[in-house]
Structure formats: structure tokens, C-alpha cells
């Protein structure tokens, strides 16, 4: 089990990680989400042992990890960390890059390389030099390389950011299935809601260096505590109660995803359509209440300026 116990860290006197604690078990996938600059990458570097902390501690199976001040080479042997600027050897082939992390004494080395290249869908490029690959292809090779040694803990920082959407879903399914089968704990810092919602066991939400939520994807999506949390999963409407009920004096607002707003024949929620955006399976409609811009989903486009009545279904 990995235990992050009340850690804080700052590159200067200002802390960018503040009193963060959580635990994670082997075979789990933990997604870390938050706005840019909130401390996601820093947290991964602390766990791996690239940054020294004075406050708090990181434990693996009850053993305290000492950090870079106590090791000649920073980083824990049982972990692998893939930063956003992945490290590859450009003038060697794809299979040579992946094979570098597999012992030459392994009698099944070539079979293992083939298995890993199949996981990242790069087997056809085994003999290609890395310098001739695209950015997305290089990222896939970097992923294969870090899982070659089958670490106990894998830390990934935006691992699919350079990969085309049509390949991304297959790669995610292959990778997380492989890690689960090998009982590898995977912690991913990501901006992609699909990474978190579809595959994670738990999601950690960070804001300005603080852990503000940790729960299952279902609970965080269906019952977010605030707009900051819900905004990572979908467009979110923050609708003041006074827009719904003219008699209220409350300053509170409710949260609702676009798919929770439905067009009805008559209601207290009247909006004027501003734009319609085709999303494939539906149209995303931008509209204005009295003072508030909202978004809702509809089966077809609605003309600009048209008035519609809305009802909130299963609101947050």
C-alpha cells in the first residue's frame, strides 16, 4: 500500500503542495485532476522521490521513503515515472528503446518486447528509429518503456496528451487492463475526464495545492461538492435560484450538467437560444436566462432567438 501522509512542499517559501494525505493499493488506478499549476506534477515527483520534503512523509508497505537527499540516484527502484517530456533514444529503434528496460538475461526478452508493443499498438514500428516517429507514437513507446520492468507503482503525467483521439481509447483500454492484470498501482495526473471517469478506481481533486475531494468517479460526477469539481467532467451550469423562483431571496445556486436540462412545454425556467453546436449524438444549445448563460442538450438545433422552457432533471 502507498501512503501519502500530510505532505507539504514549496520550491520557495510559498507552498505548492499543502497537507495532502491519501492511500492507494496495488492494482488500483488513481486519477489526479485539477487546474494547470495546482500541483499535480509536483505531487508525482514527490512520490517518486525527485523532490525532498520536510513536512509529511511517503510510505510504501509501511516503509518510509527517504527522498533524493538520501540517495545518489533519485527515484525509487520499485517505481517508474513518466513525465510529460518522455526520455527516449532517438537514433535507436522502437524495439531497442523498449528492450533497454528488459534484462538481456531474460530468455523471453523478444517475446516481452512484442507483448509491450502490442499493448501500445506499435508492433508495426518495431524496426523504426524513434527519431522518425510522430509525437504521439513517441509517447506510446515511452509508455511501453516504463512498464517494461513491471514496476510495483507507475506514475504517469498526462500520458495520452500527444495521442490522436481515435487511438487514445484503445490505448487506454489496453494499458489499464495490462496494469490491472500485473497488479500494478497506477497514479495518473490528467486533464482528460475520460481517463478519470472511465478507468479510475478513485479520483483525487486538487485545487491550489490542496486535496479538496477524493472519491469514486461515480460519486464525484453525480454528487460534486462545487462547480470546480464538476467542471472537470462536463460543461456545468451554475443557475441562481432567483432565475428559477422569482419569489426567492436566496443567493444560492444549483449545479446541473447540460444533459440534465430538458426542453418542456411550460416551466418557470425560460431561456432564449443563442447558439447550437453539433456534438454528433446531440446538439449542445447555448441559451440565456434573465442574466445567466446556460447550456443544455437537445436532439436537434434550435434557431437563434427562439424561446424555450426548461426543466432540471435529477439535478446535482
Tens of pLDDT, residue by residue over 76-112, are: 999 999 998 778 999 999 999 999 989 888 899 999 9
Q: What is the mean pLDDT of residues 197-225?
A: 95
187: which 3 cell numbers?
497514479
d(CA 206, CA 93): 39
34: which 3 cell numbers?
485539477
Q: What is the mean pLDDT of residues 2-24?
A: 95
Taking the domain 237-312, which CATH number applies? 2.40.50.140
Tens of pLDDT, residue by residue over 180-207, are: 999 999 999 998 888 899 999 999 999 9
Number of C-beta neighbours around residue 170 at 10 A: 12
Cβ-Cβ contacts under 8 Å for 24 (sequence gap 6 or more): 1, 2, 30, 185, 187, 202
Taking the domain 2-230, which CATH number applies? 3.40.50.300
Distances (CA, A) of 202 to 54, 183, 199: 27, 16, 9
5-9, 148-152, 161-165, 236-240, range with the lowest pLDDT: 161-165
Cβ-Cβ contacts under 8 Å for 157 (sequence gap 6 or more): 40, 41, 44, 81, 82, 83, 84, 188, 189
56: which 3 cell numbers?
509529511
**What is the number of residues in the chain?**
316
**Sequence spans of domains, the chain:** 2-230, 237-312
d(CA 176, CA 56): 30
Give the pTM: 0.90
Tens of pLDDT, residue by residue over 39-76, are: 999 999 999 999 999 999 999 999 999 888 888 788 89
Hey, do 2-230 and 237-312 end up sharing a CATH topology, with the first three levels equal? no
> Is residue 280 within 8 Å of 247, Cβ to Cβ?
no
Number of C-beta neighbours around residue 116 at 10 A: 24
Amino acid at each position: 500500500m502507498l501512503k501519502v501522509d500530510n505532505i507539504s512542499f514549496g520550491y520557495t517559501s510559498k507552498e505548492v503542495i499543502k497537507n495532502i494525505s491519501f492511500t492507494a493499493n496495488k492494482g488500483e488506478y488513481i486519477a489526479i485532476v485539477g487546474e494547470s499549476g495546482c500541483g499535480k506534477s509536483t505531487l508525482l515527483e514527490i512520490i517518486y522521490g525527485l523532490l525532498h520534503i520536510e513536512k509529511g512523509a511517503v510510505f510504501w508497505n509501511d516503509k518510509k521513503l527517504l527522498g533524493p537527499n538520501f540517495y545518489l540516484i533519485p527515484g525509487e527502484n520499485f517505481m517508474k515515472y513518466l513525465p510529460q517530456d518522455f526520455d527516449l533514444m532517438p537514433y535507436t529503434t522502437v524495439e531497442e528503446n523498449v528492450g533497454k528496460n528488459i534484462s538481456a538475461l531474460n530468455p523471453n526478452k523478444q517475446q516481452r518486447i512484442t507483448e509491450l508493443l502490442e499493448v501500445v499498438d506499435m508492433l508495426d514500428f518495431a524496426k523504426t528509429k524513434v527519431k522518425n516517429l510522430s509525437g504521439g507514437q513517441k509517447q506510446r513507446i515511452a509508455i511501453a518503456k516504463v512498464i517494461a520492468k513491471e514496476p510495483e507503482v507507475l506514475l504517469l503525467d498526462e500520458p495520452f496528451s500527444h495521442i490522436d483521439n481515435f487511438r487514445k481509447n484503445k490505448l487506454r483500454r489496453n494499458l489499464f487492463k495490462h496494469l490491472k492484470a500485473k497488479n500494478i498501482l497506477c497514479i495518473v495526473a490528467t486533464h482528460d475526464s475520460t481517463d478519470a471517469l472511465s478507468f479510475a478506481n478513485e479520483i483525487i481533486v486538487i485545487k491550489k495545492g490542496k486535496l479538496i475531494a477524493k472519491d469514486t468517479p461515480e460519486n464525484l460526477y453525480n454528487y460534486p461538492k462545487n462547480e470546480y469539481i464538476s467542471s472537470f467532467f462536463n460543461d456545468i451550469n451554475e443557475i441562481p435560484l432567483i432565475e428559477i423562483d422569482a419569489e426567492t431571496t436566496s443567493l444560492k445556486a444549483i449545479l446541473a450538467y447540460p444533459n440534465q436540462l430538458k426542453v418542456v412545454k411550460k416551466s418557470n425556467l425560460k431561456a432564449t437560444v443563442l447558439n447550437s453546436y453539433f456534438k454528433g449524438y446531440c446538439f449542445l444549445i447555448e441559451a440565456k436566462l434573465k442574466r445567466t448563460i446556460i447550456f443544455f442538450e437537445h436532439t436537434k438545433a434550435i434557431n437563434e432567438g427562439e424561446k424555450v422552457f426548461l426543466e432540471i432533471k435529477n439535478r446535482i
